[in-house]
Amino acid sequence: MIALEKASRPLKGDVFVPGDKSISHRSIMFGALAQGTTEVTGFLESADCLSTIDCFKKLGVLIEHSISPTNGVPTITVHGRGLHNFSAPTSTLYTGNSGTTTRLMSGILAAQPFDSMITGDNSIEKRPMKRIMKPLGQMGADVISVYGNDCAPLRFTGGKSLRGITYRNPVASAQVKSCIMLAGLYAEGDSVVYEPALSRNHTEIMLSAFGADIHNEVARDGSAVCILHPGMPLHGNKINVPGDISSAAYFIVAALMVPGSELLIRNVGINKTRAGILTVLNQMGADITLLNLDESGEPKADILVKYSELHGNENRQFVIGGKEIPTMIDELPVVAVLAATRDFDTIIKDAAELKIKESNRIDAVVQGLTKMGCDIEATEDGMIIHGGKPLKGADIDSHKDHRLAMSFAIAALAAEGTTRIMEDECVGISYPSFFKDLQALL
Ligand code: S3P
């Protein structure tokens, strides 16, 4: 449990957030699948990404941590085995709390010559896996849910020949898309995934850099398409992971919320498929400026954010929905916190996916913010926040969900009295030094 008080002065200074979680996972996975070595700097050393490393170690991949003697930079070196040279694991692969590890690894395991089993913690064992089992089955994989509930543990029977498929995913999901693309590397023929809006495209960017033939298109009906032609050799690479915009989001909201604040958040990934929070906050009138923009590979920039008055439309409403949602899905809890402090209504819609994240984030945000005095209601596919009522400190259940623990820590900065967050150690899933970094600004 951690106790936090209302911020007593403006937040000022420079912040470095740790490496991007999605990109860190992929750097290990694609490095393992490639021939030769891959060197990763800026890697996120959090529980989720360490789960990915553990899983690949169980498949016989040598992965080393070192500190560069010349510049002191921590580096992860992945000694790639190539697509066809993994060893059969001698125990179940354990993914902890990580949906990305579970779903992306599944695409790889489906194509191996050996049997395997994968599972994670209590939260992982409740998350829907039908969304990957169905397309993998269509590709010819043999995957079953051990308890027959379409959740992990998943058991793969090895030695299946896979074929490429064209798959129309009803929701935009980078985990599903990436799972199919990874299986597609092993398949006969092209793999094509349609999604209603483009989900984060780190797989496409990084796999291309490793040598794969993969790209995005826009279909005539406006849906996003990802196409992989298999057969190109993957070669080792050097990867520098930018800071995670999902982690930066907590400081962006904190600066917008605490009067007089001004923060410069350095070296943050601002890939358009991830940066919806910047677009939406700019539309609300937030004073956010991008500095030192670097668009080589994954785009990155320093984000300068200053306390701002925000506004809704002429009806004192602000609606967040549609294609914007996948570009800010993980940031919606902290955006809800910000909305609670403003005197207009914020309507979040088209975000039913929030219910099946590490926790049910619609119910948990509504429960926590209601306890803090906010007028907020859950809807089928999001929530409506009637902002402007003063927040008060409360005891908050994090549901062991890292993004909720951090969102409510930011809410505490605007709340009168003490806010206690239960099981706050879950921040280690994506941002182990979060509370230390936050305290340094208070
Ligand atoms: C992720 C994709 C998103 C996101 C998750 C990380 C990824 O999930 O919420 O935190 O790295 O591919 P979905 O693909 O389920 O939308």
SS (H, E, C) 84-108: CCCCCCCCCEECCCCHHHHHHHHHH
Ligand 1 pocket, mutate which of 95, 199, 402, 429 (most atoms under 8 A from CB): 199
**236 DSSP assignment:** -
CB distance 22 to ligand 1 below 6 Å: yes
Instruction: Please name the residue whose Cα sits nearest to atom 10 of ligand 1.
Output: 330
Termini Cα distance of the chain: 19
CB distance 201 to ligand 1 below 6 Å: no
Q: What is the pLDDT of residue 240?
A: 97
Bridge-partner residues for 167, per DSSP?
A: 193
Does residue 78 contact residue 63 with C-beta atoms inside 8 Å?
yes
Residue located via tokens 């991830």: 274
Q: Kindly state the tokens that stand for 304.
A: 């300068």
Give pTM, 2 decimals: 0.98
3-state secondary structure of 316: coil
Q: Tens digits of per-residue pLDDT, 230-288? A: 999 999 999 999 999 999 999 999 999 999 999 999 999 999 999 999 999 999 999 99
Tell me phi and psi for residue 168, to 5 degrees.
-100, 105
Please name each of the domains of the chain with its CATH number: 2-19+242-441 (3.65.10.10), 21-240 (3.65.10.10)
Q: In which band, very low, low, confident or very high, does the pLDDT at 318 lie, cut at 50, 70 and 90?
A: very high
CB distance 330 to ligand 1 below 6 Å: yes
CB atoms within 10 A of CB 75: 16
Q: What is the pLDDT of residue 68?
A: 86
Does residue 126 contact residue 102 with C-beta atoms inside 8 Å?
no
Q: Tens digits of per-residue pLDDT, 121-150? A: 999 999 999 999 999 999 999 999 999 999
The Cα–Cα gap between 266 and 286 comes to 18
Q: Tens digits of per-residue pLDDT, 191-217? A: 999 999 999 999 999 999 999 999 999
Contacts of 387 (CB under 8 A, 6+ apart): 339, 340, 341, 342, 343, 344, 345, 346, 374
Mean pLDDT, residues 9-15 taken together: 97
Q: What is the pLDDT of residue 246?
A: 99
Q: How far is CA 184 from the centre of its chain?
A: 22
